[in-house]
Structure formats: structure tokens, C-alpha cells
Structure 1
Amino acid sequence: MNKENFRYYIKVRAALNIPASVIYDELYPVHGDQTPSYRTVRRWAQWFREGREEIEDEARPGRPITETTSENIEQIRLLIDDDPHITIEEVQEQTGLSHGTLQRIITDHLNLKKATARYIPKDLADFQRAERVRICKQNLATFQEGTWRLCDIVTGDDSWFYHTQIGRKSSNAAWVRRGDPPPTVVRRDKFAPRILFSIFFKSDGPVLIHPVERGQTIDHDYYINNCLHPLVDEIKRQRLSYGTSRIKIHHDNGGAHIHEDASKYLESERLTIIPHPPNSPDLSPCDFWLFDII
């Protein structure tokens, strides 16, 4: 069915005083995604009840579609290349083209879409980027060569956990009927109750979960005595025959993690420290995988 057929059906049903919601429910099971939206059905039903007879679109004033010329496309491309953050309203002011023409040129001809900037932990220098790649490749090669095994890796970090979780954006998605409002989730208050945990885990599950007392600062002494000591003891308990032999520990470059005393303690317990790229907390498995799931 084309749009005129849909409108004729709406016109007939509206003349019988059938509510718009019922008309939409009659159309959607038959025509699926081709069905006009509920808002469109309701609008046309209202117009027909008010006495409209025509089912064709009314002539619209404005500029013709011939505004979509190669010259205009090139002009808009140059404006966007010069300022990727420019708005459609600013382009409209500089070119004099209609909003619809700009939308058509940008999406259909230039194949562009507006994307929100992604926040990153730090703007790395060229050397830091190169070092980030080098260390990642070095670690990956060690696994591929069989020198390291995933089951021997212990990774850890600390993070705040709120008493009430609102879930990730994707987990809050829900199916709704066409025309119905989307679900809402109340934004978490910045003063909501929370607790700091230091968590270490392996490929087969958590090894140590340590709650940090409110107001406690995790300096190198606290990290060694309350995190690393219990971690090593737990590893030895789980591996009675091998102890810490062949165990590698991976944590980011936080001050307490890379302190000389912490490194000396891990080496004294025969734990190998996996190199971590500088200024790259986003590469810690806890941050990009575990904490997001929790």
C-alpha cells in the first residue's frame, strides 16, 4: 500500500468514528513497518473528522528540490571541512538554503552524520601513543608465543560502587509501541551512597574483594598491607603446590601501584608485573570490562 491507500483507509474508518488507536492497531499487524506511525494516523484521522476530503499532500511553499546542485553540495562540504562543529542553522545562514535541502545534502550526498565527541582520559603525545602501541603488542606477542598463559594473570583495580545501580544505557532499553513515550530512568544523585572496592580477579573468577573504609586514602602503604598482602596469601592458599610461581599481576600505573615499595614486595613474592602503557587507565581489564558489567 502507498500512503494514499493508507490515508483512504484512515478516512473511511474515521468516518465510522473508529478511534485512531484502533485504526493503527488494525493496520500494523498487516503491514508491519510500512504502517504510518501512530502520530500520523491520529493526525490524518483528526483532519478527516474536521471535514478534509483530499488524501493527497497539499502543495508546499518553499524552494524547489533543484537546490540540490553540485555547486551547493561542494559549498556545504567546504564549510563542514573548515568547521566540523558547525550547526545546520549556521550553514543555513551562510548559504541561504532551506533546512530540508541541507539535511538532504549532508546525509544523502555527503554521507555525514553528527556524532558526539567521545571523552578520553588524556590527550596523549605522539611518544605516549607509540609507547601505548608498543607495550600492547609486546604483551600480546608474549601470549601468542605461549610464554604467558591467561589463567596465570591476576588483574586488579579499585572503583566506586553505588548502593543502587541504574544500569548501563543499553540495559535500560525497552520495547515500546509506536507513538508511546520512551521509558525514563532517574539520574543518580551525586551524593548517592557508595562504597570503594579494590578487586582482583583471574580468568576463573575473583581472587580478592577488599572494601575500603570511608575516608581512607589508598597510598602505597595501604595498598601493600591491605590489598597485596591478602592477595598473595589467597593465591598461595588456592595454589598449594605452586604458590605464586608463574603468576603475573596486571594493574594500571596508579601512584600506589607503581610505587617502588609495592614493586619490590611483588618481586620478593615472585610475581611478575605486566607492563602497562602510560596514561592508559582505559586499557585496564577492570575498567573496560569488569566494572562496567558490575
Structure 2
Amino acid sequence: MDTATANERDGIAEMRRLIEEFLTSKNGSLKVREYIASVAQDDTLLQIYLKGRKYEGIFIKAAPNLITLISKTTSLISQDVRAQVKLHLSRGLSTQLIRNELKNDGVDPLPDRSTITRWCQRFRNGDPSLENRQSPGRPLSATDEKHVAKVKAVVEKDRRLLLREIAEKVDSQSANTCSNEAQSASQPRKSKPTFHGQRFFLGQIVTGDETYLHHYEVESKRQSSQWLQAGTPPPLKAIRKTSKAKIMMLVFWDRVGVLLTAFFYKGATMTGQAYADILVKLKKAYIKKRGQDKWDDGVFLLHDNAPSHTSRVAKQKLQDVGFIELHHPPHSPDLAPSDFHLFPKLKNYTRGRKYNSDEHVKKSATAWLANKSPSFFSAGILALEERWNNLYENPSYRADYAWETLKRYAEVRFDEYPELFPDDTHDTASQIKTLGVMAMLKSRDEFGRRIVYVNGEKWNPDEISFDLMTTFGIYFTERELFDDDVMTNGIIFIHNCSGMGFKHARMFTLRNMLKWLNIYWRARPLKVGGVYFINVPSFAVYLVKLIKPFFSQKLKERFIVSTRDKKFETLHEKLSPNLLPKCLGGTQEDDEAFDWEFLQSKK
């Protein structure tokens, strides 16, 4: 508790209150009550359940250190990289060959070809400097003695004036140039919270997202509300439904305004390749509207974790084009400017309006965006500052969710499936390593999530029952609860179904699959980032269709099934082969890829 934050301490206190209510009510079996009472005395366990239930999935350690990200921007145009370009140019290499050499040298992020071409041109023109050219900037006409004296006189009369008001009173051409003199003469005022110390960083962000626009969308209750006299019955309203006809709009914007829009009509889908092609257009649009100098300063792209955004082809194109990606915590629409600022206001405009065609919808949305001033877009980007600071520095916890998960776990362990929880953990660890049916990879994905691998080729159904496999999985998840990185970032399951046949299929009954859901999904505070079944036989696809209606919406989005004809193709769209062993089509040797020490470590 000494290292717990104030919110964690409040969450633990609330959990203890809920536990006390449960114990007082005398609900549940004796074993369940005894276990919950023991957990109530263990601060570490209570913190574990809280960490798995942060509000809206905001992960403290997964949130990016923006100063580090800004240093990546600096490295993009750093003197070290420019020195390497200059060296390769002296050897007579072309732009593309220079870029290949930088890639082989491990330069990350890798400059795009246009940036390297511009540097080479400077060196060929006889400019040996590795530093940025300094622009003269705005003339400092407001720092002469006359204006300084006016500023001091105004401030002495009213020390609570805003900088803008001071500039108006002294008729200055620039408010910013008066700031130093004003601050020296006035009382210090509490400064606004900084975006991790880098306010200028907000001007370098480009954000984008997709949304559906319907031909007709029902008005919200707030929009359809009416003023009525006291005692007057509410008016009757006809039942209306949102139309099925719709189009998808993708929009990218920054503090100044819209950079690029794209529309997808019926039958079109947003794939990784389609998104990669749009990123190329986005770079061209940014340079055209904001200028090459702004691009050279570094541009950060903030988008969510939609499958098309996280696909390998999109990730590769993002790096090739030259954008620097900002990490977006999963399930955090309150950190996506499009979700909390742009789209809600756009939907307020389109709701209740009837459109005759897709083109009519497109024309209306485009006109609405065009009529918005730069201050509208700036407000959305600037709102990130306070949201990031609040959620990064002081995340909220759902003590009620944490308590429900704890109670569910106790019921599963002691009432529903007590025979599945291992008593002898050392024997279980030895079995797992000897049989080789389950392992933890040493590598983690780009979000820091650990990867559990289930090897169907070594699963002999005559020797290893479904319940024993479940016990092995429980052993893994029990130990992962004490891994801070796992609790912060989450976990991924990969199940290789190669070698599995009808004997295995007979084990995957609806009852057994629901058992897995109850144990791994509903009774654990773990964040499951993905469940990937690969090399699945065709008949097993019907089993998935049978159980998928029982999944939550989140699990449906993260549950991926890839048939044998695709082999590892679908898996590699989610995870780089560099993270995976050769048995999964990766580049790492199988013996070196697995973390067997994880099984033996004491928890």
C-alpha cells in the first residue's frame, strides 16, 4: 500500500466495503466466503483486481511517454542520421540505396525517400552543415523601450489582465513578444497543465478515424426534447428507426482543419491495404496544405487500434511514409479527438435529416466540415492535453467491476470447477514442459502484451484431456496475475490447431467452451488482447459459429479464426514474424523463443 496511488487506495477501500457487505449478507458457500475474506486482508491481491479494471481500459504503463516520442522526431532529423547519409552519398550511393543502408543499420524511425533526397541535394549544393537552417522569424517590433514601458504601466494598474488584453491596451502587434516583460512585472499565476512538458507537441498531431453516416438517423432524446407547461402530457412520437443505408467516412484533421476525407460505399471495406494507400495520400495532402517545413519538423499520427490500422501492411506503410505513430490505449474513445469532439457534433447535425442518396450524405458532411473554423478543430486537439494528463497521471478504477470479478473467480474456483485448479503447482509445471503443449514466448508484441502459445500438434487427446488442458491454462493465468506488465498491457493467446482432428473436435463441446469462457474471460482481471486460432480445420469453423453468440462484443472483435489454407498468413497480419518461433512461421529458433523460466519462477 505504500506505493499505491490515492485512487488505488480509494479503490481498495471501496472493494473492502463491498466485501464486507457480501460477508454480512451471508451469501455464497463457506469456501467462497473464506477465500474472499482472506483476499480482503491482502492489499497485493486487491491491487491486482483493481489494475485489471481501470476505467475505460486506460493503462498507465501503456500510455506513451510523449517526451520519448518527441525524441524520436528529433532522431528522424538528427545530426547522426544526416552524417550517415552524407557518408553514404560520398560513396556514390543513390537515394534508395542510402535508405536501404540506413535500414540495415537499424535506424528507427527510418526517414522516407523524399527526406533523404532533400538532404543529399543540400550536400551536393555545397552545404556541409548537419543542423537545421534557422529562419529569421517574426520581426521583434514590440520589444522596443516604448512598448516595454507601456506594458509595465498597464500591468501595474491591473495585475489580473490576460496577455491578450495587455496586447490590446498597448496596441502591440504581437501578444507573445510582450509576455516576458508582463510576467516580470505581474504576480505569478498558476500555469496550465502541460502535455507532459511539451505544449508545442499538440501542433504536430494529426488524428483520424472512421464513422458511419446513415441516410436517416433518429434524433437523440436531447435533440427531440421540447419545452412544456407544468402538468402537460408529453407529445406522442412516432416510432422511427435508423436507416440501413449508410456510407463510411474517414477523415484526418489537425489543429488547423481537415487534411483528407475518404468515403466508402456499400460493399467496400476498410482493409489494411486500403488504409496504407490512404496514408500515402495523407502525407501528400499534409505537405500541400501545411508545407514541407512543417512535415520536416515531424508529424505524429494518432489513430485507434482498428484492425486495418494495426495490420502489418499499414504499419509498414506508416513507417515508410514517415509518420510517427502515437500509441492509443485500447478501448479509450475519450482519448480519440474524432470520437469525443468531431463525430458527436457531426452526428448532431446529421440526425433527423433525410438524405436521398450516398452522394447527398457525402455532400452534406463535406459542407459541414468545410464550414468549421480553425478554432473548432484546435479545441479538439487542445482537449487532449487535459485528458491525457488526467488519465495518465490519475487513472480511475472500477472497484465495483473488480469486486464482481473477484466474486466470480471465487465461485468458479470453489463451487463450479474446483477439480480444475491445480494443487501441486510444481508437478503441473513439470507436466507442461514435458508435454510441450503450452508455453510462454519471450517476445512481446508492440503493445507490451505477453503471448501464450498452445501447440495442437503435441496435444494427444488419448493422453491429455480437455480438463487437463484447462488446468494448464489456469496455471499460466494464475502466475500472470503477478506480472505487472501483463496486468498493465494484457495478454494474447495463440492456438495452433495443426494436427488436430475429430478426436479433438469431440472435446470442444458447447459445455466445455462455456467452461473456458467462464474461467478465462469472466473470472479473471486479465486484459485479453487477442485469441488467435490458426490452421483450423474446416469442420471446426462450425464450432466457432456455435459458441460465438455467447461471446461479449469485445471478445468477438479479438477472436480470430484462420483456416489451414491460410496457414500463418492471418497471424502474421497481427504479429510480426520477428516475434514468433519458426513453428509459427517466425524467425526465432523454437528453443530460444520460449520462456521456460516463467514456469519455474516463484509467485
Shift of 1:196: 0.9
Contact kept? 1:237, 1:243, Cα under 8 Å: no
Shift of 1:134: 3.3
Contact kept? 1:156, 1:198, Cα under 8 Å: yes
Q: Which has the larger radius of gyration?
A: 1
Matched, 1:134 2:61: yes
CA deviation map 1:157-206 (0-9, x unaligned): 11111223444333333211112233565554254422111111112222
Shift of 1:241: 3.0
Is the alpha carbon distance of 1:192 and 1:259 closer, same or farther for their aligned partners in structure 2, counting shifts above 3 Å?
closer
Residue among 282, 290, 312 paired with 1:231: 282
Shift of 1:138: 3.5
Distance in 2 (alpha carbons) for counterparts of 1:275 and 1:261: 17
Which runs of structure 2 are paired with 1:155-194 in the superposition (5 Å)? 155-183=207-235, 186=238, 188-194=240-246
Is the alpha carbon distance of 1:156 and 1:259 closer, same or farther for their aligned partners in structure 2, counting shifts above 3 Å?
same
Distance in 2 (alpha carbons) for counterparts of 1:285 and 1:184: 37
CA deviation map 1:109-151 (0-9, x unaligned): xxxxxxxxxxxxxxx9935848623344745997331175222
Distance in 2 (alpha carbons) for counterparts of 1:188 and 1:140: 50
Residue among 238, 250, 260 paired with 1:208: 260
Determine helix, strand or coil for the equivalent of 1:273: strand
**Structure 2 counterpart of 1:218:** 270
**Structure 1 counterpart of 2:338:** 286
Is the alpha carbon distance of 1:133 and 1:236 closer, same or farther for their aligned partners in structure 2, counting shifts above 3 Å?
same
Unaligned runs of 5+ in 2: 1-20, 26-48, 71-194, 347-603
Contact kept? 1:157, 1:251, Cα under 8 Å: yes
Distance in 2 (alpha carbons) for counterparts of 1:194 and 1:223: 20
Shift of 1:233: 1.3
Structure showing the higher helix proportion among its residues: 2
Distance in 2 (alpha carbons) for counterparts of 1:264 and 1:147: 29
Query: Normalized against structure 2, the TM-score is what?
Result: 0.26
Distance in 2 (alpha carbons) for counterparts of 1:131 and 1:138: 14
Contact kept? 1:244, 1:269, Cα under 8 Å: no
The aligned length equals 176
Distance in 1 (alpha carbons) for counterparts of 2:284 and 2:62: 29
Shift of 1:243: 5.4
**Structure 2 counterpart of 1:263:** 315
Contact kept? 2:64, 2:327, Cα under 8 Å: no
Determine helix, strand or coil for the equivalent of 2:241: coil
Of the structure 1 ranges 255-264 and 190-199, higher mean CA displacement relative to structure 2 is found in 190-199
Determine helix, strand or coil for the equivalent of 2:59: helix
Distance in 2 (alpha carbons) for counterparts of 1:132 and 1:224: 27
Contact kept? 1:197, 1:209, Cα under 8 Å: yes
Distance in 2 (alpha carbons) for counterparts of 1:186 and 1:137: 48
Is the alpha carbon distance of 1:164 and 1:291 closer, same or farther for their aligned partners in structure 2, counting shifts above 3 Å?
same
Contact kept? 1:128, 1:278, Cα under 8 Å: no
Is the alpha carbon distance of 1:191 and 1:163 closer, same or farther for their aligned partners in structure 2, counting shifts above 3 Å?
closer
Distance in 1 (alpha carbons) for counterparts of 2:67 and 2:340: 17
Q: Which amino acid aligns with 2:222?
A: S
Contact kept? 1:162, 1:195, Cα under 8 Å: yes
Contact kept? 1:200, 1:206, Cα under 8 Å: yes
Is the alpha carbon distance of 1:259 and 1:146 closer, same or farther for their aligned partners in structure 2, counting shifts above 3 Å?
same
Q: Which amino acid aligns with 1:198?
A: L
Distance in 2 (alpha carbons) for counterparts of 1:234 and 1:184: 49
